[in-house]
A and B are shown apart, each in its own frame.
Chain A
């Protein structure tokens, strides 16, 4: 079957992670400048920073879509290789060895769908073929 790869029929490997909130000035600015329904805000909100080791475990690369599921909900966002990796030497010298098992997401409704943030949320992350849902697709009963 042309165009269909065998791994599409296999369940994507997943990884238990703790999702933690962070603040991003560019995302706050986008909410104010372009609105909370804008593509600019959505693009900056639907991101998770993952440790390279976690990305490898779920077979994903920087920029791939990943599904994050907690007991409260599921979202699809873009995985980004954590900045920690690029500063690896500095961090290692300081005793910080990256953050395997922990993913960082900017504060937004996409993170809050996963549960009782701002406290850390336990979730599973895996590669995803689905699309990123907009606010109105994400919230049941929502009308724009």
Chain B
């Protein structure tokens, strides 16, 4: 079975007598999570049918609907969500700072690879603005550092060099062979300094040039280098600078980049949005993308250009109060808006939340619709952070306790069924 606790989608999971093995503590807590809420309308408990009916009315009446999230939904739900957005003219924002890097990967603007290639070939691994020991706990043991791969038989002791680049000394940094500390406000300067150092030029920078030159030397010698890009990189360095750095690295060695995001199916929603014949508004950047199945690449590139011309250099797809104020109805799917932006609790827009878990957004929402969790009590497919499609069988059949699961687990409707009902009703 597969764990959907993070975008690593570990597919070796077994559940016996309430024990989840060999999942990490996030995965085990995610699979056994019992904090579910009742369907609610205006903070009163109602039936699931009434909650869906009320949500459909709000969406039908909305003049400026906006959809947030979908990174924690199975691909099938995302596809129906995009059709619903198309039908009512809603914008979709995944609210993830990784959205633009994933777009660059999907459109081959940067080189990427599969996690199995990292395990078999990677000799230099950079964790940039990333702390997988706290976010993707099995990445180091499964792929990135400890395992002996086909061409890396000596594993981390001899065959791999792991380096962290971060604003703080993270837990991951404590096991790495090197750490470069980023200075606030000088994040992009580190990239510029490294670009010069790669050409054997001594950078004039707030950073220790000797250390940057040493890092450049290590990267140039890599046979197969990988950058795991965490939020700390994609939130602070413009995506065109990341593309230029990747191009420069590939002049000397073979370097790949992988996004290290937490939402388990973020990579898929980017592709689903791109493939759809739908106008989706990127809320964070204000850029409108008219995607069509025929000229997808061109329109997406235009949108990227438009973003740059509007001065949106850094790709923080960060939801803001101002962008939310333009909406009169916000549908959050697997995204806890109020936890990310608590100030949104008193905006005028009606809020609907569809989520398997207890959320803070439920405390401010007009409609709360609980749903099944992908890979736990509903089956589906998802795309791992390296682009590999993974099947998500049901760990627990909806409405009945599965192997080793507690017997009093309530029945939950899948978010795909809820989306379908909304699609029919609006």
Contact = CB atoms under 8 A, between A and B. Distances in A.
Query: Is the A/B pair a real complex?
Result: yes
Interface of A: 18, 20, 22-26, 28-29, 32-37, 72-73, 83-84, 87, 91, 94-96, 99, 102, 104, 108-109, 112-113, 116, 118-120, 135-136, 138-144
Contacts of B179: 94, 96
B355 to A, nearest CB: 11
A140 B168 contact: no
B150 interface: no
The residue in B29, B33, B235 that gathers the most chain A C-beta atoms within 10 A of its C-beta is B29
Contact of A23 (B134, B208, B338, B364): B134
A49 to B, nearest CB: 9
Given A109-B360, A118-B97, A118-B318, A25 B137 contact: yes
Interface in B157-173: 167-170
Contacts of B167: 20, 102, 120
11 contacts: A23-B135, A25-B26, A32-B26, A32-B30, A84-B169, A95-B208, A112-B340, A119-B235, A119-B316, A139-B360, A140-B345
Given A32-B29, A112-B339, A118-B97, 5 more contacts: A29-B29, A96-B181, A118-B235, A118-B316, A120-B167
Nearest to A97: B181
B231 interface: yes
Given A95-B208, A118-B235, A29 B318 contact: no
B25 interface: yes
The interface residues of chain A, by DSSP majority, are classed as: loop
A101 B131 CA distance: 22
A39 to B, nearest CB: 14
Nearest to A110: B342
Interface string B268-283: 0000000000000000
B168 A143 contact: no
The residue in B35, B133, B340, B342 that gathers the most chain A C-beta atoms within 10 A of its C-beta is B342
Contact of B29 (A33, A91, A143): A33
Given A112-B339, A119-B235, A25 B345 contact: no
Contact of B184 (A109, A113, A120, A141): A120
B221 interface: no
Nearest to A96: B181
B184 A29 contact: no
B14 to A, nearest CB: 19
B363 A143 contact: yes
B320 interface: yes
Given A35-B35, A37-B358, A112-B339, A104 B133 contact: no
Contacts, number: 111
Interface in B168-186: 168-170, 179, 181, 184
A25 to B, nearest CB: 4
A120 B182 CA distance: 13
The residue in B35, B168, B208, B235 that gathers the most chain A C-beta atoms within 10 A of its C-beta is B168
Contacts of B26: 25, 28-29, 32
B343 interface: yes
Contacts of A29: 25-26, 29
Contacts of A28: 26, 29, 134-135
A91 B131 contact: no
A96 B184 contact: no
A74 B131 CA distance: 27
Contacts of B343: 72-73
A112 B363 contact: no
B341 interface: yes
B342 A109 contact: yes
Nearest to A138: B342
Given A20-B168, A32-B26, A109 B346 contact: no
A91 B168 CA distance: 12
List the 6 shortest-distance A-B pairs measured between CB atoms, nearest first: A32-B29, A35-B35, A23-B134, A33-B29, A25-B134, A142-B363
A88 to B, nearest CB: 12
A100 B301 CA distance: 42
Contact of B358 (A22, A36, A102, A140): A36
A80 to B, nearest CB: 14
A36 B133 CA distance: 22
A113 B342 CA distance: 6
Given A29-B25, A33-B29, A119-B316, A109 B169 contact: no
The residue in B35, B43, B346 that gathers the most chain A C-beta atoms within 10 A of its C-beta is B35
A37 to B, nearest CB: 7
